[in-house]
Chain A
Amino acid sequence: MTQENNSRRDFLLAGIAAATVAVGCSPKKSPFEAGADEQVKASGKKIKLLSVDGEVIEVDEAFLKPVPHLPPVSNTEARIGIPGKKFVMVIDLSRCKNLKKCQSACNHAHDLNPGENWIKVDSMQESEDTAPYWEPTTCMHCDDPPCVKVCPVDATFKRQDGIVLIDSDRCIGCRFCMAACPYSTRVFNWSEPELTAEIASKPYSCETSIPQKKGTVGKCDFCADMTRMGELPHCVSACPNGVFAFGDMNEDTVTNGAETFRFSDLIKDKAGYRLLEDLGTKPSVYYLPPVSRNFPYESGVENDKIQNK
C-alpha cells in the first residue's frame, strides 16, 4: 500500500503546484511570468503551504499568484509518452445503463463536431437467445495497433506508456487507419470543425487533440493531457455508475474515482476479457462481462433513441 500512498502525495503536491505558486518561496524568478518579482504589499493574511522540501511554511496571501495553464508539452515529448507508465482501462458492463455521460463529457472536452463521437455505447446481443447489454467503446489503444502499422507518414503512433495518438499536424487524411481499425473507432473531420474562438486560439497538441483540423483523423486519446497531470480521463470521472476504471498496469491499480482496484485481481475475479481478442491486436481496454447487473438493459433503451432513430 506504500505505493498508493506515495502516488497520493505526489498527486496532492502536483495539485498545489498547479493551483498556486508561492512567490516568496524562491528567490528565482517565476518561470511563467516576467513581472513575478514586482513589489506587492502584504495583506497580513497568512496561508499555510507545503514547500518543495516537504516543510510547512506560511506565506502572505498577497504573494500568491494564479499560475497560467502549463504550456502543452512539445511534440517530441508527446510522442514519447510518460516514462514508466502503462495505461489501462477496465469497462464494467454490469454497471452500464447507457446514460452516455461518458460520451457527452468526452465530446465537450475534445470539442467534437455534432454527430461525431469518440465514445460509442453499442447495444449488443450476441445471438437471439442471449441477453442484450450496453457496451461503451473507446479507442482500444492496442499494443499491436493495426492503425499505426498502416499509417504512411507516422501521423498515428504508439507511445511507451501504451497510448495511441494522432498528430493532426502530420495526418494527410488518407484514412487507411480508419479502414484498418477493426473496432471502427476512428472518425474523420470531413468539414472545417466548428470551433469557438477560445478553442481555436489554443495551441494544438496531440495530447489534448484540440483544436481539431479539417481533413484529419480523430479518435479517443485516453485524455493524454489529463493523465500527464495525474488526473483521470473525462469519461471515467463523468460516469456516475463507475463503469470506467483507469490506471497504470505497472502499478497494477485502476480506479473509477470512487473505488480503487487491484487490476489483476479485478480481471481474475470478474473474468475480464478484451474485444476481438482473436485478431491479435492486444487492446489496452478490458471488459468485465455484464453479469449480476446493476440495471436492466431496458433502462437504457429510451436514451438510445436520441442518436439512433
Chain B
Amino acid sequence: MPTLLRDLRDLLVSLKLTVLLIVFSIVLILAATIDQVNLGIWAVQEKYFHTFVVFWKIGNVSLAVFPGGYTIGGLLLINLLGAHFYRFKLTWRKTGIWLAHAGLILLLVGQLLTGLWQDEFQLRLDQGQSKNYAESYRNVELVLTDTTDPKFDEVVAIPEKPLARLETVQHPKLPFRVAVKTYFPNATLAMRGPMQPADPSAPATQGVGPQVLATLQPLTYKQDERNIPAAYIELIGPDGSLGTWLVSPLLDEPQRFAFAGRNWKIALRFVRSYQPYTLTLLKFSHDRYAGTDIPKNFSSRIRLTTPDGRDDREVLIYMNNPLRYAGMTFYQAGFENNDQTTVLQVVRNPSWLIPYIACALMTVGLLIQFGIHLTGFFARRRVVAA
C-alpha cells in the first residue's frame, strides 16, 4: 500500500482525529449557542448544523470559517466506523466500548434523518374554532383560488422562492400571469390616511391595497417574534393588467375578484399542511398558583374528529402531555388573545424512535465499560492490600 494512503488510513482511524473532532464539535456547539442571541434557534441550526461549512459574513463577504455539522458528524462517523473495522477486536472486555460506539453511530444517523425528515408547524385555534390543517411557522405561499364551482375550490399555490425573486409565474390553471412587483420579507401594515399622497412604492390598485400601506421592517430573529412578509402582486391577463394587489398574512380575509366569468380569491398565507382529521378547541385553560401570576398549567380541551367518523373523541393537551395522533405530536406551546386562543406546536418526526434505541445501547455500553474499570480497580486494591 502506498505510504500516503496508509498515512491517510492511519489518520482516519486514529484517536487523535477523534479528539480533534470532539474539540471541533464543542467549538461548533458553543458558537451556535452564543449566536442564538442574534439569530434565534432556527437560523442557527441552518447556519451551523445543517451544513457542510459554516460561513460568517465579514462586511459583505461570506467567508468559510469552520466545518459545519454535516462535515464534523460525517468525519466522526468515518472515524468511528474505520476504527472499529480496523482496530477493534471482538472480545468480552470490549463489548462495552462496542455497544457505546454502535449507539453513537446510530445517534448520529438518527440526527441526520431527523434534520432531513422532521417538520414543524403551528396550529392556532380560537375557542370553538375547527381546523383540519396546521400552518408553517416561517414559510409562506401565495394562493390563488378559483371559487366558481360551489362544490369545490381549485387552488394554485406559489411557494416563497419565486415570490422573493420577483419572478413572473405562469400556470396552466391560471388564465393570467402572476407578476411579483415588490416583496418584503418582513413588513407591517397600516391604514393609509386620507391626506397621504399615493406612495409610488405602494402601487396597489385593487382590493384593500389602496387603503393600506405596507412598510418594510428589518428581519427579526427573536424567539417570540416572526417575520411576516408582504408583497405587491400584479395579475396580467391576455388583454393587459387586471391590477395590483397587496397581499400579506396580516390580512385576515383573502381578497376576491372576478375575471373572465370566474370568481377568484388571492391571499398570501403561511404554508398549510392539511391533515385527514379535524381539531376543534373546546376550552383553553390557564391555571395560576393561588394569589400569583405564576403559571401552573396550560391545557387545551380538543375534539378530534375524522371525516370517516372512525374517531370522534375529546382529548386534553397540557404541559408534558402532548397528543400523538397519526404520526404527529401536538403540544401546548402557548396562548394568545387573553386566554381565548391556544397555540399548539405540531411536530412530525418519523425517526423519533432511533434516539431511544441509540441511547439505550450507549447507556448499557458505558455501564459495562465503567463497570469493568471499577471491578478491575477493586481487584487491584485487594491484591495490593493482601
Tell me whether A and B are bound partners. Answer: no
